[in-house]
Amino acid sequence: MPELNSLKYKIILASGSPRRQSLLKELGLDFRVELREIDEVYPPNLMGKEIAEYLAGLKAAAFKSNEIPDDHLLITADTIVCVDDKMLAKPEDFAHAKKMLQLLSGRWHEVITGVCLKSNKKQIIFSASTQVRFKTLTLSEINYYIENYKPYDKAGAYGIQEWIGFIGISEISGSFHNVMGLPVQKLYEELIKF
């Protein structure tokens, strides 16, 4: 990570997502995890990337600037799935997850991750978008996946790095890692600029 060697900040990741934590580790960053509870509610007039960026900013706003030491940088993120101008959040239960996967089956959808970088002096918010296409999934494939992988913590009710991604995703345009929950390449560029 030659370019990040000059990064003068210690990183705080405000995410309990094991996928985001793993991706930051793979990027070669040392960080600590610090969580704050927020209600992930957004204004109803927002669409697509506006929602993802708003929620990433909302998560950062839970940390007041004076709570972030001078030499620290906070990273927050939120991933959403959009299909037919409808936003799919995390499923509430088995039936909800099944309904989501049936909606995504045989179609393209968009995965958007909003990211906020915040120090005690400045803040930037950006997002990345990836187009993903599922093959037509059978009911038994959908049921098997939900029963065995319990994707209740994932927007759109699936993880691309899990079984359903291996057997079900036929095409992807954009960042694979963005679909996992963090656009690592774009984050790398933004960290260098920050």
Question: Could you list the active site residues?
Answer: 78
DSSP H helices, 45-126, are: 49-61, 94-104
Residue 66 one-letter amino acid:
N
Q: Measured between alpha carbons, how far is 74 from 78 in angstroms, rounded to an integer?
A: 14
Q: Considering just the CA atoms, what is the radius of gyration of the chain in Å?
A: 17
Q: Which residue(s) pair with 172 in the sheet?
A: 132
Using the 8-state DSSP alphabet, how is residue 157 labeled?
G
Query: What backbone torsions phi and psi does residue 142 show, to the nearest 5 degrees?
Result: -60, -50
